[in-house]
Structure 1
Amino acid sequence: MSTSELFKTDDLLNQYYRGERNFQGIQLPKADLSRACLSCCNFSEAFLKKTNFTRVRLIGSNLKNANLCRANFFRAMLVDANLSQANLSGAILAEADLTGAILQGSNLNGADLRYASLVGSSLLGAQLLGRVRLKGANLTSATLTRARVAEANLNGAMLARAVLTEADLSLATLKGAILIRAYLQRVNLRGADLQGADLSFADLRKADLSGANLKGANLEGANLSYANLIGANFRRANLQEADLNNASLQQAQLSNANLSGTNLLEANLEAANLQRADLRQAGLLFAELGGANLSGANLQDTNLIGAKLDRVKLSDSDLKRAIRLGSNG
């Protein structure tokens, strides 16, 4: 059945129970379908604005290009559902199960996805603007390549192994978020709040984290080569054995940070604050440290071959413990 006519809730449910599964183009705005079982249905291009789908089962259903603006999917089951190109602006998807769902190119502006499960879902190119709420959401292994998630609330979200290549997360809040082994190449995290986030072993090559707050964050083993970290806050962050070769760290705050074993080959640390930082066995070969503050830093076995150290503040730091001190300008 394919129809663009207005339907009644009872008509839809009765036809479903008789075995009908094709409801393409159906118009059923503001309907109450709460707790209904509508799995494996075709609702593509349907008009279901403001419809109540609370606790509904739509497992494996097709809602491609559907108008679901301001619909309520609280605790709904949308496992493996196709929501690509759907209009979900202002929709409530809190605690919904969207495991494996396809949301490619969908409009989720202003949506509420708090504590939703999006494990393995595809949000390729999706729009999640308007301060989308993703607090506590599970996005493990989800794909958000080129997604627009600026200013979203992702506090405490699970993003382990998620793919966020070239995504826009500028000004987003990710306090305490888990991004272990996440793929963040060329991601835009300008001005983002990542305090206490776990980015261990994440791939952040050529990422833009300028002005971001990573105070107390865990970046152990992360790859930040060629990243823009200008003015970023890494106070008390763990960057042990991270790769920061050719990274831009001008005016970055790295006081009390753990940089032991870190690769800072040719990194630019001009005017950076490295007070009391742990730089044991770090490699700063040919790094630019002009005007940096290294007061109280631990430089045991730090490799400074070819590093530029003009105007560097070194009070309470022992350069004699560093390996082969390089040129001074």
Structure 2
Amino acid sequence: MPEAEKSAEELLNRTNEQAVERAFGAENRNKLIDQYFVSSRNSIEAAGAWQHVYRLLLWSDPTTGLAHCYESDKSQPGKPWYARSLAFHSWLADGFGVQPAVLAKEIDWLFVKACSDLAAAAVKREERLASAASRQRAPYAGRAFPEPGADPELAGIIQDVMRPYLSGAPSDAEWRVLTQKVRQFLAVQNKRKNLVGEGFEDVLAQVIRRACRLSNSSVQSRRLLYEIPGFNRARSGGKENKVDLAINQPSMRTIVTAKWSVRADREKQFASDYEEYCNAESEGKKFNYVFVTNEFDPARLMRACDALFRNNLMFDYIVHINTSAVMAAYNVPDNPSIDKTRERVFQHIREGRLISLENWLDLIVRQ
């Protein structure tokens, strides 16, 4: 590929990536979260906090059309988690007071808004790039060079499927626009993990501040451990880890591990993180270690509830966004039998080991 053509394509790709990063980055994400809560007419209370979390972050699985509560490949029709996803979707629609068919419009607010910001930035970006690309391509005019962003293979796949329904043949420029939009859609979907990663931490921080009436400085996300009052730096040469959330109240310090879902490697990290926190604690005072999640897998929830550190329960509280959602997903109408793992989760809920976000926020207020 000639250098001019290569440079134009590299510029286009780099600018695309930068636009996505800005739209889904921390600065814009927090601006949008602020915008959401400011636009809420009522004050944020513990009882309705779960709805705000789900409105902001929960999404519909595009392969099933149902609210996402478990891994997509295991939630397809005919598999056990499809029935549980149906039960969760039904419960959530009832909770929001809408019909199941329109539930998708009630959730995924943060992702939709970030995409909207990205689209607005894309229009301005393409206007700037068109002029630059035209100058770079000028020396090769008339030689039928491929246009930046063209994807004949993807266009061919779409054309093969849609040909019976097309009354005419779209132009090359129209195919190019379509394939660019498809590629951008796929790139943006990959950014969703940012919203249920750091975005989950940011949403929780806002919910805690507003529902518990705490200051911004009392609830902080992604802080280095030594920046939290009463904790030292890591040992010389050690890696300085960031804490997902830290809540600093006069009566209690709380370190929060916030994970929308749980992978095996994350489970192994809980104990090593906690050991680091214990070793770094410098005031000889108790601090709470809390796990907040939207995980629905019963085995993972059970392991979190039962996790030990030096023969004591590791987490002071295991918090699910809504334990009623967990119970709804497990109580599938056409399969009422409950296995031992799910029954163990039910037991943890009954005994207060696994609590809801509402219950935890109430505890924070009382501390």
Shorter-chain TM-score above 0.5: no
Per the normalisation by structure 2, the TM-score is: 0.21
Structure with greater contact order relative to length (CA < 8 Å, sep ≥ 6) = 2
Q: Which has the higher helix share?
A: 2
Structure with greater strand percent: 2
